[in-house]
A and B are shown apart, each in its own frame.
Chain A
Amino acid sequence: LAYSQSGKRRRNIQKIFYDESLSPKDAYAEYKGESAKSSESDLVVSDDEEDFFKVSKVANESISSNHEKLMESESDRLSKKWENPQLLAQLKSRFITGSLLDSIEG
């Protein structure tokens, strides 16, 4: 969205998505304008031999607590997003009750 509005040259989305040298996740990251390597940085790799036998902090967390955290963060994100009056005003134009002047329908 930011790309198309910034007036830069249009990207060839087709080329990005069908480029077999990129994995689907990397292709999506490139489309979004994010670094594909960002996902790799999430992996904690330690060369220390002693650490190899220790249970990692990530593995220690139960799946359910991870899910709860994920839900919490998603819920917080949405709550914060829809507290923004500017966004709310923009969204109102998508409803039949909104002003016709600021229509952005497709």
Chain B
Amino acid sequence: MSTGQLKRFKGCEYLTHRLVLATLSGTPIRVEGIYPDEADPGVKDYQVSFLRLLEKLTNGSVIEISYTGTSFIYRPGNIIGGRVVHDCPTTKGIGYFLEPILILCLFAKTPTSLTLTGVTSSNEDIGVDVLRTSVLPSLQKRFQVGDELELRILKRGSAPGGGGEVNFLCPVIKESLPPIRLSEFGRVFRIRGIASSTRVSPAFANRLVESARGVLNPFIPDVFIYTDVRRGDECGNSPGYSITLVAETNKGCSYAAEHCGEAGETPEDVGSFCAKKLLEVIESGGCVDPYTQPSTLTGMLLSSEDVNTIVVGQLGITSQLVVFLRDVKALFNCEYRFKELESGQVEMSCLGKGYLNVNRRIQ
């Protein structure tokens, strides 16, 4: 249950991570100035939905939203986990809800089985394929949580209709997370990917694969892109197609890129654009890509009381990172240190808080 003093924040950039940090630290927060100048001011439906999801995953959380919706108070409760089902609004992808939750569920009372329904891949938010093939394996490796950390894509749902369904399984950890020290990112030795489509011709997925391979093969021959074509009950009502590419290095790092087909874009455009995005992420370098970076930084913060170091690429340095750093400072009283490297990357380090799972059921 929240016991600390109420912390105030202005604006709602990177709100989901702020709420997760508040839950982990047990600090009640007040967020003000939420889209006050817009024609439709106040918290958006997806933000309310995320608050409701936190309410389901915790016990004793209190959410008070102001009359105008431009401010709210969140008093976090205990993280209980368990079997949770949540409908995500189609205005945001499932990744918007799932990505910040990944670390939170590790510190729950019981193992989590979270079923989310909605849009499985969109260009605005992290897609479920990136989470399954890049982020989760990375977290499994870094935090030594094993194969129990799993994401199953039961149904695919494209925007705008959604109708996708995923099941996230997360164990609870018994000790604090191990410290992370990643300085070498190595060279890319293989590229894997998934080209998926819903309610369109199966040829679309093959066209995505061909165009992506056309860009990537001059760099490396070991490129294998699976196709996942869904029809009928296996997907939602909207037609769509997307591609996710993951490059793996010989030092155990991975870089991911994804892109969904929009109106007016051919599968060839989507495939080659995604491949070029991946090349840019590889060029940027670092030990984690921008998708894995938030979870890794949160894990570093919560790890055992030791120095954590990670090298991030220039693409990982964004204004959202600045918001995250300030939130961590406000809620955990911890600052990350930075060192610019000659190669252009930035080394980030912090001292772990030795965070223990106080919610875990004693057996």
Contacts and interface: CB of A to CB of B under 8 A. Distances in A.
Interface of A: 1, 3-5, 10-11, 13-14, 17-18, 20, 24-25, 27-28, 31, 64, 67-68, 71, 74-75, 78-79, 81-82, 87, 90-98, 103-106
Contacts of A104: 343
B250 interface: yes
B39 to A, nearest CB: 10
A67 B344 CA distance: 30
A79 B187 contact: no
Interface residues of B, number: 51
Interface string B197-215: 0000000000000000001
Interface in B290-341: 311, 314, 317-323, 325-326, 329, 335-338, 340-341
A17 B319 CA distance: 9
A24 B220 contact: no
Nearest to B262: A71
Given A91-B283, A97-B219, A106-B285, A68 B262 contact: yes
Nearest to B190: A96
B60 interface: no
A24 B323 contact: yes
Nearest to B219: A95
Contacts of A106: 183-186, 285-287, 311, 341, 343, 345
B276 interface: yes
A27 B319 contact: yes
A38 B354 CA distance: 42
